[in-house]
Amino acid sequence: MSTQPHTTTPQDRSDDEEPLLSVDDLRTRIRTERETIHAVDGVSFTVNRGETVCLVGESGSGKSVTCESLTGIVPQPPAEIIGGTVEFKGRNLLEASESTLRSIRGTEIAHVFQNPQSALDPVYTVGDQLVEAITIHEEISESDARERASELLRQVGIPNAPTRIDDYPHEFSGGMQQRVAIAIALAADPALLIADEPTTAVDVTVQARLIELLRELTDGGMSVLLITHDLRVAAALADRVLVMFGGTIVERGPIEALYSQPAHPYTRSLFDSYDGLSRRGDRSARGDIPTDGCRFRDECPHAIDACAGGDQPPFYTVDDRKTHGASCLYYGPEHDPAPILHDDAAVNTLIEEPTDD
């Protein structure tokens, strides 16, 4: 097993093509009256064209704040983006004006949130909202836009789309509202879809349909950055996985490699405690994560003195392909990872896809 340090940034490139999105050392803090939370604490990753990258981790790990920081939709204040770069098609979005960001949002980068109501206006029909989303970004006649809106509804699995297009959001079920929200996000044919827990509020049948839809989109060339705490959803969709803990990425790698051999002690604990939903609380809100050294050291059964102090450990390769890395000293040149990898309790079978039972 190789223990050479992982190349730092940009990382995990699957080919020679420039990544669509390249995030480097992103830092976002949130100030409350009581404390300052380092919600995103030096996050770096890439998303290639046509690729699905999943950010997994428990509630409060920084997944959503990371994604909301990319296009500046994180509420500022209380949040403040204090460092890093977010290169999208060669532009650093952190230096872009608000008008530039506004034109990118919804056209080139679209967001879908866990709660579809946030994307739907209750006083307009879904057709009106879709037509508006289409015509804002494209010179197209009203009738053609309406036809396209109907086609989008059909694509996301709304039955009787030509009729339902004139319904209001409250006339749809929660799962259908989520699909309508996805249709609105897709209206401008974005290059990157950022989907934050899009399948959490729906039943397993709708979840399976949404997963199928997201697969079709990436087959068509769209890139997806998917936030989920559901390891089965990540298994069903991801090309690569980024595991977040305490505002940092602690493990990253291709889905097959990471799921067959979770390497970081936190990832292994995540798999061990998995019951379909995270059982852990909101750590960031409790502010009980170290702000230096390895962020996981207070809970790590393998922690040694060297894990305290300094910064989060660098990424070391876990396998010979150098695509799977863990931010843990045990994979560095001075240590042997055997005590971690021989922990049989962490063996998992979560590569299976969601089922209806």
Report, in Å, the least distance between residue 295 CB and ligand SF4.
8
In the region spanning residues 237 to 296, those forming contacts with ligand SF4, defined by CB under 6 A, are 264-265, 294, 296
Q: Judged by CB under 6 A, which of 119, 255, 329, 346 binds ligand SF4?
A: 329
> Based on CB atoms, which residue is closest to ligand SF4, 252 or 297?
297
Please choose, out of 54-62, 136-144, 161-169, 322-330, the segment that lies near ligand SF4 by the rule CB under 6 A: 322-330
Q: For residue 318, state whether it binds ligand SF4 (rule: CB under 6 A).
A: no
> Based on CB atoms, which residue is closest to ligand SF4, 221 or 309?
309
Q: For residue 54, state whether it binds ligand SF4 (rule: CB under 6 A).
A: no
> Based on CB atoms, which residue is closest to ligand SF4, 42 or 174?
42
Report, in Å, the least distance between residue 282 CB and ligand SF4.
21
User: To 10 degrees, what angle do helices 126-137 and 142-155 make?
Assistant: 110
Q: For residue 330, state whether it binds ligand SF4 (rule: CB under 6 A).
A: yes
Which one-letter amino acid corresponds to residue 123?
A: V
Report, in Å, the least distance between residue 313 CB and ligand SF4.
5
- Nearest Cα residue to 214 out of 198, 230, 228, 202: 198
Please choose, out of 56-64, 67-75, 172-180, 302-310, the segment that lies near ligand SF4 by the rule CB under 6 A: 302-310
Which one-letter amino acid corresponds to residue 304?
A: I
Q: Is there a contact between 234 and 274 (Cβ–Cβ < 8 Å)?
A: no
In DSSP notation, 285-333 reads HHT-S-SSS-TTTTT-TT--GGGSSSSSPPPEESSTTS--EE--GGGST
Torsion sign over Cα 345, 334, 307, 321: negative
Q: For residue 313, state whether it binds ligand SF4 (rule: CB under 6 A).
A: yes
- Non-local (6+) Cβ contacts of 270 within 8 A are 56, 57, 58, 231, 243, 262, 278
Query: Is beta strand 21-31 parallel, antiparallel or unpaired with respect to 36-47?
Result: antiparallel
Q: For residue 42, state whether it binds ligand SF4 (rule: CB under 6 A).
A: no
Helix (H, G, I), strand (E, B) or coil at 224: strand
- Nearest Cα residue to 152 out of 164, 143, 161: 161
In the region spanning residues 3 to 22, those forming contacts with ligand SF4, defined by CB under 6 A, are none
> Based on CB atoms, which residue is closest to ligand SF4, 152 or 307?
307
Q: For residue 73, state whether it binds ligand SF4 (rule: CB under 6 A).
A: no
CB atoms within 10 A of CB 344: 6
Q: For residue 297, state whether it binds ligand SF4 (rule: CB under 6 A).
A: yes
Please choose, out of 3-11, 27-35, 100-108, 328-336, the segment that lies near ligand SF4 by the rule CB under 6 A: 328-336
Query: Is beta strand 192-196 parallel, antiparallel or unpaired with respect to 109-112?
Result: parallel
Note the residues at the interface with ligand SF4 (CB under 6 A): 264-265, 294, 296-297, 300, 302-303, 307, 313, 328-330
